[in-house]
Structure 1
Amino acid sequence: MVRMQDVAEHANVSIATVSFVVNGTKRVSDKTRRRVESAMSELGFTRNVVARALASKRSRIIALLFPQLDLRFNAASMDFVHGASTAAAERDHHLVVWPVANDPTALRGYLDGGLVDGVLAMEVQLEDPRVPTLEETKTPFVLIGRTADPSGLAWADIDFEKTVRENLDHLAALGHERIALVLEPQHVLGESAYAPPVRVEAAYRDWCADRGFDAIVAPCRRDPASGTELAAALLAEHPDLTAVAIMNDEAAPGLLRGIRASGRTIPGDVSVLGVGMASKVAAFCEPPLVHSSPPGYELGHAAAIALIELLDDPDVEPIRTLLPCRFGEGDSVGPARPFDSARTIGTSMP
């Protein structure tokens, strides 16, 4: 078994210096740290996590709160987790995922165990009940998302307002004026509204008002069958619709199927654009969707780094980062076709 003494001799430093590096109890120069870590790697030295936690009074573990893993752990979510996990490893920390509901009682039960140094909270509600609990327990935290009033909080979020404007401007440049917005329900996580669909709807309505367009908002449950049903109802009520922007990954394949079943073509008759949709999800659709992909990795990475810096220095300036989605290519968007009532009655094409 390799000892600290062995590492110290190999790196030509004192045992105390090795202890500082291993336990994080005192800052050492980057050059010395690299020499010690190189010696540890070459000798196969394994850190004693428990001893390190006792010495530093920190577990060097951060938790990612992710409610409803069974319903929402999709490709876009994985990008956030990957970014946070990578950042934690870069800063010599470990990331654990806690599938705890947005419920303060359940969260307090997790926090009482004293396992983690700090928390990253995903799936943020406008009035998120976890925030008061984290503040009351004096748990350092960073939100991946924003509450209705995020002032005073540390957060990293998607710039939904800019994303929506850019997506809708793209459709308008192709001549689309009758554009519907399909969203997941706002109350998917509890009584308080889930922040992303609220912000996307508000940005969409503002955009429509600025251009004098009618706002057509259609909530949809998160499953393909609901997407198919919605497409039929939407096109029956608005037969002159030429484009749909959808922020509901699970319903998107069904929506496309429902549009085709109405006798319409994509993008010939109806263009479809995925808002905040992971590129992997967009690629699996038929046709592949033009989409805006969330900067999940970047936001997860930034939030985790910010949390670790907050743990190192409680007085550090809180992070407040907004990043828009990235535009992704696909085959589902084309120029608007002039409305022809005869084309709304066609052969069903499931």
Structure 2
Amino acid sequence: MVTLAEVARHAGVSASTVSYVLSGKRSISTPTRERVELSIRELGYHPNAGARALASSRSNIIALMVPLRTDIYVPVMMEIAIAVATTARAHGFDVLLLTGEEGPEAVRRIAGSSLADAMILMDVQLHDERLPLLRESERPGVLIGLPADTTGLTCVDLDFAATGTLCVEHLAGLGHRELAVIGEAAAVYERHTGFAERTVEGIRSRARDLGVRVLHRPCEGGFAAMAGTLARIFDERPGTTGFIVQNEAAVEPLLNLLRQQGRAIPEDVSVVAICPEQVAVQASVSVTSVAIPAQEMGRRAVEQIVAKLQGRAADEIELLKPELTIRASSGPAPAAG
């Protein structure tokens, strides 16, 4: 078993410096800290959790609050959770996973106990009831998501407003003037979930600038729900030629239904999705998409937590820049006939 002294020799520092990097009790220069962390990873050093907790009055546990609801795409949430767990482990922390829809009570339970040293909150709503308690807590917290008021908070998220803008610009640049947005389930908007609300905001704002008409319709996902939503869209806006999909469960049903109606993709209709890469590339028509950087979001959230525990970070809003990958599902708008 690798010892702390061996890590110190490998990094060329004293044993106490390694201890300070692990505990965060003292501020260590960034180059020295990074050298120590590299040695820890290369040697495979695993500090004794019990000894560290006794010495530092810490549990070395991060609480991850992931309310698992039936109206969200669980694989994305789990990909973020796995990235949080693996990154935390690399920094010597374990993760306590809280999946219930407890709201403020979950924050209160962590803040008032020694269960965890810090909290990461997911499924963030614009006016999230958990946030007043998080602001009052002495335990560091990071949001994977962006609420309406970010005062006193640290947040990591994809820039969903910019994502919506990017999708509109792509379709408008191809000549599409009538767009429909296939959104998440209605309950997601009723809760004012941040990522969904901000995407629609970005779409509508850029569409107004470009003189493009937009119709937004929530959808439960699945073939039957998508069939009803699509029929309603073409009934209300028969000239629709561009679709933006922010609902992973609706992507393949939409493609199938469009083909069944005799609408060729992308000759007659173009489709752009906001979804995980694998959903876009494994669809029956490879879909132009903005990927959800789930692993990056999870990793950055943990790094922000570790920096806070070590006294190295102030509150910060980190929005990841969206990237659109063009594939077979989008092309020039059909000529007006």
TM-score (norm 1): 0.81
Which of 15-24 and 76-85 deviates more? 15-24
Q: Give the conservation status (yes or no) of the 8 Å contact 2:71–2:185.
A: no
Change (3 A) 1:9 1:37: closer
Are residue 228 (structure 1) and residue 227 (structure 2) matched?
A: yes
CA distance in 2, matches of 1:36, 1:211: 53
Q: Residue in 2 aligned with 1:345?
A: none
Q: Which amino acid aligns with 2:228?
A: E
- Judged with a 3 Å threshold, the aligned counterparts in structure 2 of structure 1 residues 27 and 244 are, in CA distance, closer, same or farther, namely closer
Q: Check conservation: 1:4, 1:19, Cα contact below 8 A.
A: no
Equivalent of residue 324 in structure 1, options 294, 318, 321: 321
Q: Which is further off, 46-55 or 288-297?
A: 46-55
Percent of residue pairs bearing the same amino acid type: 29
**Taking structure 1 as reference, are residues 77 and 339 closer, same or farther at Cα in structure 2, changes over 3 Å only?**
farther
Q: Is the 1:227–1:252 Cα contact (8 Å) retained in structure 2?
A: no
2:238 is matched with which residue?
239
Structure 1 residue ranges without an equivalent (≥5):
341-350
Task: For residues 80-130 of structure 1, give each alpha carbon's deviation from its aligned partner in whole angstroms, at most 9, with x where no partner exists.
Answer: 334433432343222333213251124433554421111111111010011
Distance, in Å, in 1 between the alignment partners of 2:158 and 2:206 is 18
Structure 2: which amino acid aligns with 1:207?
Answer: R
Match of 2:301 among 300, 303, 312: 303
Rounded Cα–Cα distance in structure 1 between residues aligned with 2:208 and 2:74: 33
Secondary structure of the corresponding residue to residue 230 of structure 1 = helix
Aligned to 2:60: 60
| Correspondence list, 1:118-267, <5 A | 118-185=118-185, 187-188=187-188, 192-267=191-266
Determine the C-alpha separation between the residues in 2 that align with 1:142 and 1:317: 11
Q: What letter corresponds to residue 332 of structure 1 in structure 2?
A: S
Q: Cα distance 1:111–1:228, how it changes in 2: closer, same or farther (>3 A)?
A: farther
Letter in 1 for 2:50: V
- The answer on whether the counterparts of 1:143 and 1:155 sit within 8 Å (CA) in structure 2 is yes
Q: Tell me: CA distance 1:313–1:337, structure 2 relative to 1, closer, same or farther (3 Å).
A: same
Q: Partners in 2 of 1:201 and 1:108 — Cα distance?
A: 32
Secondary structure of the structure 1 residue equivalent to 2:248: coil
* Structure 1 residue 337 corresponds to structure 2 residue 334: yes
The answer as to whether partners of 1:23 and 1:53 remain within 8 angstroms in 2 is no
Q: Larger Rg: 1 or 2?
A: 1
In structure 1, C-alpha distance between the alignment counterparts of 2:7 and 2:109, rounded to whole Å: 41
CA contact (8 A) 1:18 1:36 kept: no
Q: Structure 1's 267 and 32: CA in aligned 2 closer, same or farther, altered over 3 A?
A: closer
Which secondary structure does the structure 2 equivalent of 1:335 belong to? coil
After superposition, what is the alpha-carbon deviation per residue over 1:284-315, rounded to whole angstroms, capped at 9, x for unaligned? Answer: 2221211111222222222211111111118x
2:289 alignment partner in structure 1 = 291
Aligned residues: 333
How far apart, CA to CA, are the structure 1 residues paired with 2:72 and 2:95?
Answer: 19
Report matched runs for 1:30-41 at 5 Å: 33=36
Given residue 51 of structure 1, which amino acid in structure 2 is its aligned partner?
A: A
Contact 1:268–1:337, Cα closer than 8 Å, also in 2: yes
Match of 1:285, as an amino acid? Answer: A
Supply the distance in 2 between the matched residues of 1:254 and 1:272 (Cα, whole angstroms): 12
SS in 2 for 1:62: strand
Q: Measure, in 1, the Cα distance between the counterparts of 2:300 and 2:42.
A: 30
Q: 1:177 to 1:13 in 2, by over 3 A?
A: closer
Q: TM-score, normalised by structure 2?
A: 0.84
- CA 1:17/1:160 → structure 2, altered by over 3 Å: closer, same or farther? closer
Which letter maps to 1:337? P
The residue aligned with 2:88 is 88
**Secondary structure of the corresponding residue to residue 207 of structure 1:** helix
Residue type at the aligned position of 1:217? H
> Structure 2 CA distance, aligned partners of 1:338 and 1:175?
9
- 1:158 & 1:77 partners in 2: Cα distance? 14
Counterparts in 2 of 1:233 and 1:142: CA distance versus 1, 3 Å? same
The residue type equivalent to 1:323 in the other structure is L
Deviation, 1:79, is: 4.1
Quick one: which amino acid aligns to residue 286 of structure 1? S
2 CA distance for matches of 1:63 and 1:8?
28
